[in-house]
A and B are shown apart, each in its own frame.
Chain A
Amino acid sequence: MSYPVLVRGLTKTFYDESRGEIRAVDGIDFECGEGEIFGLLGANGAGKTTTLRMLSTILTPTSGSAAILNHDVVRDPEGVRKHLGFYSAGTALYPRLTARETIEFFARINQYPSSRVPERVRYLVDRFGISKYADVRVEKLSTGMKQKVSLARTVAHDPPIIIFDEPTVGLDVLNALEAQQTIKELRDEGKTIIFSTHIMSEAERLCDRIAIIHGGRILDCDTLAGLREKTGKHYLEDIFVQYAGRPAE
């Protein structure tokens, strides 16, 4: 079976002057199906962001492999990025562009067909409800408005696979719920979504399957029901503690 996202033995080590070699991601395997929200659930420093950065080709794996729609992250990074939308707390917007210019820029640079860019921009402005401030510079927008523009720029080129790395960090409850709703809608449109969070309720509400990552390793990967059955716990928080509390083998 061919998976849109396929990860095998993915490893990343860094060298730190004071701590020496750090194995941030330690030989992880997973795959995501079409139209699935796949959750990476882990505490801070578990290796979620490093994994997602390798998938988005920002970082190069030390070993192992990962492919997005059969484009290898090492051999064909541009092919990977063309089919990928990447959203994280570290991916801010250009403050001096307007919302409309931002969406247009990201559509063009992510290889969306030039002739269809104006139409795509109009669609996204309407879809994300940003028409009132579409021509206002990003630096003048509120956090919630920037969030919508960020989501719009992530999907500007209509990618089949979208990575959300802790997308609700720093948002108030209403904006966080709105972001979650958008992610669900994108899944319903058939997008494959990889979603990382350390907020258990988010993972419970959104993810079709959840991988519990700790110390750079995936400790288990299953549906919420499957994890409940394996651990005998109901709440994801308890399930997580049961796994992460165990020392990594």
Chain B
Amino acid sequence: MNWKDIRVLYVREVVSAMRERTIVTNSILIPLLLYPLLIWLMYTGFSFVSGQNEELTSRVMLKNLPAFHDALRSTIQSEGSIVIVAAADPAADIRTGSLDALIEFVPVNDGASTLENNFRARITYDESRDRSDQARGRLIESVSKYRQDFIERQALRFGVSGAELQGFLLESENVSSGRQMGQFVLGLLIPILLIVMLSVGGFYPAIDSTAGERENSTWETIMSTATSRSNVMMAKYLYVATMSFVAGLLNLVAMIFSMSSLLGPLTRPGMPNFTFRIPMESVPVIVAGAAFLSLFIAAGMMILASFARTYKEGQSMIAPFHIALMLPVLFLQGPGIQFTPGLAMIPVLNVVVMIREAIQGVYRWPLIGITLAVELLCILGALRVATMVLRHEDFVMGTYSGSFGRFARERLLGRKP
């Protein structure tokens, strides 16, 4: 290896890449601007949907409201968004959409009731219609408010508190702090997004530096220069890995600055005050994981893309690898998955779980060591395959017409076509 030559070749690759719109968009702009864009889209969407919903009035029917509770009618009517209507066949009207909900009051006649004028309210609605579901929500809110006032008044009559009157109450307490809950949520989200971005970041550079060279007829030009082919391939490899890593890193920075704004509005009232902040002490582990993964992704993508002669062929050859990276991450990294020595042996997934634990403040160094060693072995394995492929002249000249799979079967495993 001649590192001076590799530097010259690497700089050439990067300069060219920075002038290609697709690469700049996918490796820099999307990772950096994805989250601000998502925040903007989310707030715009929320504002639009809530604005639309607020404009709609809910048409509801009250049935058999006891005279004693007539004040409930006033409570419901005081909600500007609810209109009380009458219907001959409310169930049919709800199905056809001309009525949104029916609230029916049924006396409690189980003989055990000690409260006078007690009743059960049953709401009929159509959950498949947004407007009907919204009417149900508004009714529950009004009736609950009325119910709470009613219980307080009854309790006062008996000389007890409202809570005491309700008897056996079930309560739960979450001992996690808002910061810990935030880290739990981030631990599930960030590793997946990071791997998606590492893969997206390396995708076009891998094609551009291999199939792109063949399509532009610059492959032979570079092969006739006074440097070794291994220097050329090493520079290309480092360039693809850099673009992948940069995409992942920019994405991480964007996540650090935008996760609070992005996830904050999704928390419900009553939830702890979530803090969506990536702990700084986890950053070295995340960066190490991202670096190893980008080197692995770059090697895999370049081997596959090297068999393509055009950009389109390159895309179709890399796409399965891109999907193969995503599938285990999407299906196997649920919150229940534990970081065990066995899991630390599974490439890609091990990095996901390692980063997840680091974000949650857990650092199991032996498992982190196994993970990085496994990734290193994968990188070395991929580079070994690349070296074996490079020995074949027709591959170097781009005259071999076939995929990596066929090449591996025929040339590397020695099986007859």
Q: How far is the CA of A112 from the CA of B274 in the complex (A)?
A: 60
Stretch of A78-86, A119-127, A128-136, A225-233 on the interface side: A78-86
Cβ distance A76 to chain B, nearest Cβ, rounded Å = 11
Which 10 A-B pairs rank lowest in CB-CB distance, beginning with the nearest? Answer: A92-B217, A82-B226, A81-B226, A91-B221, A86-B224, A96-B19, A96-B16, A110-B226, A90-B220, A109-B225
Determine whether the beta carbon of B220 is less than 8 Å from that of A97.
no
B residues in contact with A78, CB < 8 Å? 226-228
Residue of B nearest to A16 (CB): B399
The size bracket of the interface on A is: 20 to 34
Query: Which residues of the other chain, A, contact B8 by a CB distance below 8 angstroms?
Result: 105, 108-109
Number of residues from B at the complex interface, CB < 8 A: 23
A88: B residues at CB distance < 8 A: 220
> Knowing that A94-B216, A109-B227 are A-B contacts, what are 7 other residue pairs whose CB atoms are under 8 Å apart, sorted by A's residue number?
A57-B224, A78-B227, A81-B224, A81-B225, A82-B226, A97-B12, A110-B225
* Complex partner residue of B221 from A14, A84, A93, CB under 8 angstroms: A93
- List residues 132-162 of chain A with CB under 8 A from any CB of chain B: 137, 157
> Is B130 on the interface with A (CB-CB < 8 A)?
no
Cα A108 to Cα B222 with chains together (Å): 12
| SS of B interface (majority) | helix
B313 located at the interface, meaning its Cβ lies under 8 Å from any Cβ of chain A in the complex: no
Contact partners of B216 in chain A: CB under 8 A: 92, 94-95
- Given A96-B16, A96-B20, A109-B5: A91 touches B226 (CB 8 Å cut-off): no
Total number of A-B contacts with CB less than 8 angstroms? 70
Alpha-carbon distance A110/B231, docked complex (angstroms): 13
Q: Are A59 and B20 in contact (CB under 8 A)?
A: no
In the complex, whether A106 has a CB less than 8 A from a CB of chain B is yes
Q: Are B226 and A111 in contact (CB under 8 A)?
A: yes
Instruction: For A114, give the chain B residue with the smallest CB separation.
Output: B4
Asked if B246 is an interface residue, CB under 8 A from chain A, the answer is no
A59 touches B397 (CB 8 A): yes
Q: Are A94 and B218 in contact (CB under 8 A)?
A: yes
The residue on A at minimum CB distance from B227 is: A109
Please report B residues at the A interface, Cβ cutoff 8 Å. 5, 8-9, 12, 15-16, 19-20, 216-218, 220-221, 223-228, 393-394, 396-397
Contact check, B226 vs A94: say whether CB atoms are below 8 A apart. no
Most buried by B among A86, A96, A101, A111: A96
Q: Kindly provide the distance from the CB of A95 to the nearest chain B CB, expressed in whole angstroms.
A: 6
Question: Which residue of chain A is the closest to B9 with respect to CB atoms?
Answer: A109
The complex places the Cα of A95 from the Cα of B212 at a distance, in Å, of: 11
Contact, CB under 8 Å: B224 / A91: yes
Provide 20 A-B residue pairs closer than 8 Å at the C-beta atoms, listed in order of the A residue: A58-B224, A58-B397, A60-B393, A78-B226, A78-B228, A81-B225, A81-B226, A81-B227, A90-B220, A91-B218, A92-B216, A92-B218, A94-B12, A94-B221, A95-B216, A97-B16, A108-B8, A110-B227, A111-B227, A137-B19
Binding site for B on A (CB under 8 A): 14, 56-60, 77-78, 81-82, 84, 86, 88, 90-97, 101, 105-106, 108-111, 137, 157
Within the assembled complex, what's the spacing in Å between the Cα atoms of A93 and B216? Answer: 8
Query: A95 — which chain B residues lie within 8 A by C-beta?
Result: 216
**A153 and chain B: residue at smallest CB distance:** B221
Chain B residues within an 8 Å CB radius of A96 = 15-16, 19-20
Task: Note all chain A residues with C-beta closer than 8 A to B19.
Answer: 96, 137
Contact A94 B220 (CB under 8 A): no
Known contacts A58-B397, A60-B393: does B16 contact A94 (CB below 8 Å)?
Answer: yes
How far, in angstroms, from A14 to B397 measured CA to CA in the complex? 12
Q: How far is the CA of A82 from the CA of B225 in the complex (A)?
A: 7
Cα distance A6–B5 in the bound complex, in angstroms: 29
Contact residues in A for B224 (Cβ distance below 8 Å): 56-58, 81, 84, 86, 91
Nearest A residue (CB) for B229:
A77
- In angstroms, Cα B396 to Cα A60, docked, is 11
The minimal Cβ–Cβ distance linking A7 to chain B, given in whole angstroms, is: 18
Residue of A nearest to B401 (CB): A17
B239 CB, nearest partner CB in chain A, Å: 13
> A101 contacts B15, CB within 8 Å?
yes
**Residues on B with beta carbons closer than 8 Å to the beta carbon of A56:** 224
Cβ 8 A contact of B223, one of A58, A108, A137: A58
